[in-house]
Each structure stands twice: as C-alpha cells, then as structure tokens.
Amino acid sequence: MIAIKTIAVCARRIGAAGIFCLFSHSLALAALPIQHWTQPNGAKVYFVESPAIAMLDVQIDLDAGNRRDPADKAGLASMMAGLLEKGIAARNGDQALDENALSEAWADLGAQFGAGTTSDRLSFSLRTLTDPVLLDKAAALAAREIAEPAFPDAVWQRERARLQASIRESYTRPASVASRAYTPAVYGTHPYGYEVTEESLGRISVDDMRAAHATGVTACRARISMVGAVTRAQADAIAAKLLSRVPQTACASLPPLPAVAEVGPLAAAVEKRIPFASAQAQVLIGQPGYKRSDPDYFALTVGNYILGGGGFVSRLANEVREKRGLTYGVSSYFSPALHAGAFTISMQTRPDQAAQAVDLVRKVVADFVANGPLEAELKAAKDNLVGGFALRIDSNRKLLDNVSSIAWNDLPLNYLDTWTQQVDKVTVADVKAAFARKLQPEKMVTVILGAAP
C-alpha cells in the first residue's frame, strides 16, 4: 500500500528530513485504495475516502478540451469554460445569478468552484466542507453552474476585449513570442498546435459556446474523481447530484465525438531565428513526444529526470551551466496526453552565446539518445523520484490530481501503490531503448529568439 511504501522511504532518512517524513507519512495514510464504479447515467466515479480533514475535493472531466476547437476558432473551449463562471440562467424555478451574485453565493458557502480546460479535457472542480448543510448546498449550486450557464453576451464582449489586449501585450514578451513560434512548428496542423489570436477570439460567439457546452457536457461521458471525508454512499449521491441537471442520454444514443488525428512526426529539422531586442536569447528545442498511455512512460520519466528534468543535477545543467556557464538554467520535459505531447528543452542565454549553447544542447541530447545514462545517474534519479513520492500525495488536492489522471488515462486502480516499484525497476537499457524509440535529435524544431546575428 502507499502508506507502507512511504514508511520504507522515511526509514532511510534522519534528522530534520526524518521529521518531515513523519509528517508526510501521516498525510499519506489518507491515500486509501481507489474505489471505482459506474453510475446508471454512465458517469464513471473514482473515489478515495480520506477522513482526516472535513473537506471534499471533486473534479469532473469531459472530452471537451482544446483539441475540440475548430481551427478558425482556437480558444473556444477555454473561453466557454471561463464564461461558465460568469452567471447562471434561470431554470426550473431557480432565479438567475449574475457573476457578482454567483461569486457571493460561493463565498457564503465557504466553497470553491471553477472550470478550465487543458489540451484534452474540460474540467469542473469543487472544494467544500463536508458539513451536511453546506455540502448539499454546494453540490446543488455546482450542478446549476455545470448545466445551466447563462453565457451573458455583454460579459463576453468585455472579456474578449480584455483577452485581446492581453494577447497584444504578450507580443512584447520574449517567452510568449518564442512559444507562439515553437508550438505550431512542433504540432503542425494538429489541434495541439492551435494558437489563440485576436482574430480567433473575434470569431467566437456565445452561440458557439452554447453549442460546445451542449455537445461536451453530458453525464454518460463524465469521469468524476473525488477525495474527501465522505462515505462511498455519500460520494455516489454527490456525484449523481452534480450531474443531475445535464443531459442523461446514454452514450450509445449520442452521435460519437469526431475522431482527432494523431500528431504527425517531423519530416526534417526546423530552425526559426526571430530577431528581438532582449537581454537574453530565448531557446526552445523539441519535437512530438509520446502519449500518456505509452508503455515507455516510466523509462521516459526516469530518463528525462537524468537528461534535463532534475534541475541543477541533470546532465544538461551540468554540461551547459556548471561546466561552461552558458545559462543559469536549462530544463527538458515531456507533455504526454491523449496524443503525443511535445518533448521540449528550454533555456535562456546571452545573445552572443546562443549558437554555442544550442550546439552543445544538441550534442548532449544526441549522446543521451545514442548511449543512454550512466548507472550512477540512474541510481541518483531513482533515489530522488522514489524518495520524493510522498510529496506527490501529501494533500487532498494533490491526491485528487493523481486520481483524476488515473481516471482520465484509464490507468490501473493500484497505479499509486505500484508507482515506486515501476520507477525502481527501470534499467539503463530501458531508458536507452525508450529514448531511441521516441526522440530523433536530427529532426527537432529549434526556435532561437533574440540571438545576435
């Protein structure tokens, strides 16, 4: 079990670290086995009973994220999620609430509710006390906000103008400009590469939001993750109440959601040099990576920690920062999702050193892909990842994040129980083979903004 693994990790620590481990262990005890069931409406529920704190955290995920945006209306899902919090329509005898009244209603309950999107998901989140009266009212208000948003046009006109101004301002920030060049170069025409622009926002109407909401928010497609001080019976009733106002049609009776193509591999290396008056050159290097469901996940996680994900102890940091002083920080990361999320290396350097730094990074990556890590690097990485596992579940919110990832990605229910074992069994050969399968150092996108000619 998770708690047993945490004790084993803590037993190896002493002094102040040992005191911290005891605290982490007490929190990890809340990580009980994940219970899973499907409601009559088709919604899938994933629940961890955590009685230590009289709180409940809920996340509802739906396949209505940014990958569902039309190409000419990039940002639609995000805008729809943002406007969900700006008012509730009058339905079924309940009065309408504008954005101020809705905000006050949540404040009166001492609860928090929000909506947001990622590349794949539309998510609703609720945090509330488990006092029966407050919990019931919070679930009822959340059910209205999920199912009956007002989508006020006047508020959208205001928000759109504000967001368009923010986009114009982003063109003055080097990191934003570099990212806008990098993302579409990596993803091509895939929705992961869509960029929200002033023009795309101008084409989005509240009718578009209503249509996206009607298509995306249905009970049978929902994945509900819950962590908190309630019983399974209570969790089932709360889940049902949260979705009680959305369409209950069986998914078999609904038209299937349109298929989304996979991210295509890069055919050749791409280099973009962008003139920009900045004190530091911004550098992004990368390519499409892998899906979250890929069996190489743990080998790539451990390997990336060694390559550039481990902060100042990574190989990139050692070669580029420590040995040559070409940057203060350099990092690498994968962004696995339903489709192949990007592998990215990010750094800033002096404009006159950009070419040297880029050349060195490319050599380090090519060597890592060709030869893999050293045994000493692998051991240090696994020790850090296993030793830090308790920090991944040391609060209800973090535990909920993990449970929702398990729910969304159809991971095994014992995923958290076996996480440290999966990390610990990764070998040098596993890392080398996984990186060789996923990365092609000779076919990466390189964006260099602000470098000297």
Residue 261 belongs to a domain = no
CATH code of residue 37: 3.30.830.10
Note the pLDDT tens digit of each residue in 61-97: 999 999 999 999 999 999 999 999 999 999 988 999 9
Beta bridge partners of 408: none
**Residue that wins the pLDDT comparison between 277 and 6:** 277
pLDDT at 287 over 50: yes
**Are residues 362 and 380 located together in one domain of the fold?**
yes
Maximal C-alpha separation, the chain: 69
CA-to-CA distance for 27 and 219, rounded, in angstroms? 32
CA-to-CA distance for 303 and 368, rounded, in angstroms? 9
Q: Quick one: which H or E segment has residue 146? A: helix 132-147
Residue 421 belongs to a domain = yes
Overall size of the chain counted in residues: 453
Query: What ranges in 262-312 are assigned the alpha helix state H?
Result: 297-304
**Are residues 223 and 291 located together in one domain of the fold?**
no
**Are residues 306 and 438 located together in one domain of the fold?**
yes
Q: Quick one: which H or E segment has residue 145? A: helix 132-147
Beta bridge partners of 36: 46
**Residue that wins the pLDDT comparison between 31 and 171:** 171
CA-to-CA distance for 302 and 115, rounded, in angstroms? 32
Residue 47 belongs to a domain = yes
% residues pLDDT > 90 (the chain): 91
**Are residues 18 and 85 located together in one domain of the fold?**
no
CA-to-CA distance for 357 and 451, rounded, in angstroms? 11
**Are residues 224 and 246 located together in one domain of the fold?**
yes
CB 140 within 8 A of CB 86: no
pLDDT score recorded for residue 32: 66
Average pLDDT of the chain to the nearest whole number: 92
pLDDT at 1 over 50: no
Closest alpha carbon to 114 in 100, 103, 129:
103
pLDDT score recorded for residue 30: 37
Give the confidence band of 451 by pLDDT, cuts at 50, 70, 90: confident
Last residue of a domain, one of 198, 228, 253: 253
Note the pLDDT tens digit of each residue in 138-180: 999 999 999 999 999 999 999 999 999 999 999 999 999 999 9
Expressed as residue numbers, the domain containing 4 is: 1-30
Residue 357 belongs to a domain = yes
What does the angle CA 310 – CA 314 – CA 318 come to, to the nearest 5 degrees?
145
pLDDT score recorded for residue 93: 87
**Are residues 85 and 229 located together in one domain of the fold?**
yes
Using the structure block, give the residue that is written with the tokens 């001492």.
110
**SS3 category, 154:** helix
**Are residues 132 and 275 located together in one domain of the fold?**
no
pLDDT score recorded for residue 3: 36
Closest alpha carbon to 343 in 416, 299, 399, 286:
286
**Are residues 24 and 42 located together in one domain of the fold?**
no
pLDDT at 447 over 90: yes
How many domains in the chain? Answer: 3
pLDDT at 342 over 90: yes
Using the structure block, give the residue that is written with the tokens 């996979």.
262
Residue 260 belongs to a domain = no
**Are residues 139 and 81 located together in one domain of the fold?**
yes
CA-to-CA distance for 43 and 282, rounded, in angstroms? 44
pLDDT score recorded for residue 31: 44
pLDDT at 372 over 70: yes
Last residue of a domain, one of 219, 253, 287: 253
**Are residues 41 and 15 located together in one domain of the fold?**
no
pLDDT at 26 over 60: no
pLDDT at 374 over 80: yes
CA-to-CA distance for 97 and 227, rounded, in angstroms? 29
Residue 38 belongs to a domain = yes
Query: What ranges in 327-453 are assigned the alpha helix state H?
Result: 354-371, 375-387, 396-408, 415-424, 428-438
Residue 437 belongs to a domain = yes
Lowest mean pLDDT among 17-26, 214-223, 411-420: 17-26
Structure-token pair, residue 234: 């209570």
CA-to-CA distance for 213 and 81, rounded, in angstroms? 9
Residue 393 belongs to a domain = yes
Note the pLDDT tens digit of each residue in 90-104: 998 899 999 999 999
pLDDT at 13 over 50: no
pLDDT at 27 over 80: no
**Are residues 343 and 396 located together in one domain of the fold?**
yes
**Are residues 68 and 17 located together in one domain of the fold?**
no
